[in-house]
A and B are shown apart, each in its own frame.
Chain A
């Protein structure tokens, strides 16, 4: 799967493209683990290029939230379309994540 990264000051913006399903979610999980291991603990996950997410993709997001909390870092979700946002809300993740309409607002909120 395609995953893009960019850096805004000390914040890493990481964007999965397409689908976070049982095929792709493990690849994104591995990338996030690598990101944390190299010391990037201020992360904005840009979901603006994401078309689809299933519970396996949601588990990857929850897993990174747990790890970032242990590392006393920060993770925010940004740029969700309405369908992705509805699934994130049904899953109760609005209580767990900072959620921003765009990457720009997520980066500016630090």
Chain B
């Protein structure tokens, strides 16, 4: 089985996200991922990395976010680790989607998208760092 792997180390700076998205596009092409899968991966990493940078680090504080994506045939395994304040992004309750427009809060959708779009989404602390592990099962055509 052919395994394709991408490792990226990011500074905790939103200005670096554009380059990350371009890198993910390139990886999707090399790895033969479908446009639907590439979209899901971009969206979930965008959401989680944005959250860490926005909420995990003090403004302007340095940080190091590591990403690893492995494509193993019928599944993608994604790991994001960072040295921000320890926080489980999946600890917040899911948004109430039945609320009317006046009552719906702005925000809170990013993690809901990750949980819904990925097959598995887990959080752990390892060696003092936050680790989020995602799995996306792929259709045979992917």
Binding site for B on A (CB under 8 A): 21-23, 52, 54-56, 58-59, 62-63, 65-66, 69, 83, 87, 90-92, 95-96
Q: Chain B interface secondary structure, helix, strand, loop or mixed?
A: helix
Query: From A69, which residue of chain B is reached at the shortest CB distance?
Result: B101
Q: Chain A interface secondary structure, helix, strand, loop or mixed?
A: helix
Select one of A21, A23, A59, A83 contacting B106, CB under 8 A: A59
The answer for the CA separation of A23 and B109 in the assembled complex, in Å, is 17
B47 at the interface (CB under 8 A from A): yes
Residues in A neighbouring B112, C-beta threshold 8 A: 90-91
Q: A54-B43, A90-B112 are in contact. Are A62 and B17 (CB under 8 A)?
A: no
Minimum CB–CB distance from B103 to chain A (whole Å) comes to 10
Number of interface residues of B (CB under 8 A): 27
* A54 x B46 contact (CB < 8 A): yes
B140 at the interface (CB under 8 A from A): no
> Chain B, 113-134, contact with A by CB distance < 8 Å: what is the 0/1 string?
1001100000000000000000
> Chain B, 85-113, contact with A by CB distance < 8 Å: what is the 0/1 string?
00000000001011011101011011011
- Residues 49-104 (chain B) with a chain A CB within 8 angstroms: 50, 95, 97-98, 100-102, 104
Query: From A82, which residue of chain B is reached at the shortest CB distance?
Result: B36
Residues in A neighbouring B117, C-beta threshold 8 A: 90
Select one of A63, A66, A69, A91 contacting B97, CB under 8 A: A91
